[in-house]
A = this chain, B = another copy of it.
Amino acid sequence: MRIGVLTGGGDCPGLNAVIRAVVRKGVTVYGHEFVGFRDGWRGPLEGDTMPLDVEAVRGILPRGGTILGSSRTNPMKIDGGVEKIKDNLASGGIDALIAIGGEDTLGVAKQLFDRGVHVVGVPKTIDNDLNATDYTFGFDTAVNIAVEAIDRLHTTAESHHRALICEVMGRHAGWIALHAGMAGGANVILIPEKPFDIDRVCAYVESRFKTRYAPIIVVAEGAHPIEGQMALQTGELDAFGHVRLGGIGETLAKEIEKRTGKEARTTVLGHIQRGGTPTAFDRVLATRFGLQAIDAVHSGDFGTMVSLRGTEIVRVGLDEATEEIKTVPAGRYEEAEVFFG
């Protein structure tokens, strides 16, 4: 068989580990050939390919990013997009496609499968917000990077009697904030799933200041206060006329300063959460995902995607990738609340 591989959406530590596992097993065990498509769906859409053999994947296991490049190109929004992809696959002699990506990338994969393309998916979301799998690779790395930063903030917070806020990724789901906050010993964790009460947040801050330690607040970028409670910036204009949303971390710092009279400072971790070498957990998970994906292709089990259930890698339907996202259940948040204040 001749198999195409692509990576779509935001980058995520472990993408290269998936690609390597797919190619290594595909070539050495099954004798398949591979073609890399560049920059997500743009690759098959425009027929932009790169060589992908055992030599091409040597040494990439510990490297962040993706050797295939990525983009957010959506062929479904392009006139004749599906036909172009089918034509390019046919003319390139591609028998099957492995698509590694998040909700959007796998949504396209599902639609292509429905139109006859042989495709297997590998789920990727650094936010860990996919119902179809216990964990996704990249999440563990992001959490560890955030925890390392929080560990560092603790000493500054203590030395200066100052509240420190760490804003982490998570627009719709608070998994990174929850895990990083719990592991980092945060005094408050704020997640999108539960609008926060600014009065309680300030009460925690003030109670913490009474110990010899200072408060650390971990906030997901998508967290927000109970409606009407806090004058949130919804869209100031920046110097160039673009709408600019005040980050929740910064807004929160000012509100806490105003209400408690204590200094508060914010660090926004941003892109460093999704770059660099993956943790061991993510390397193993990504590698096992890749092995299972090539097995699925080899056995002709198309329209599926790979998934972690407990300690096993299984296959589920590609449609599960686009189900409602997996948010933090109330019980998990309450577990963490024990440590607030």
On A, residues with C-beta under 8 Å from B are 7, 10-11, 13, 15, 21, 24-25, 28-29, 39, 58-59, 61-66, 69-71, 134-135, 140, 143-149, 151-156, 158-161, 164, 179-180, 182-185, 211, 213, 231-233, 236, 238-240, 242, 246, 251, 254-255, 258, 265-272, 274-277, 279-281, 283-284, 287-288, 291, 309-311, 335, 338-339
Contacts and interface: CB of A to CB of B under 8 A. Distances in A.
Contact of A156 (B134, B238, B274): B274
Given A182-B283, A239-B246, A272 B152 contact: yes
7 contacts: A62-B185, A65-B158, A134-B310, A143-B280, A182-B287, A231-B240, A268-B268
B311 A134 contact: yes
A58 B213 contact: yes
Nearest to A165: B271
List the 8 closest A-B pairs by CB distance, nearest first: A65-B155, A152-B276, A64-B155, A152-B275, A183-B283, A65-B159, A11-B159, A183-B280
Q: How many copies does the complex hold?
A: 4
Contact of A239 (B61, B251, B270): B251
B151 A279 contact: no
Contacts of A25: 338
Given A147-B280, A153-B272, A70 B267 contact: no
Contact of A272 (B239, B246, B255, B267): B267
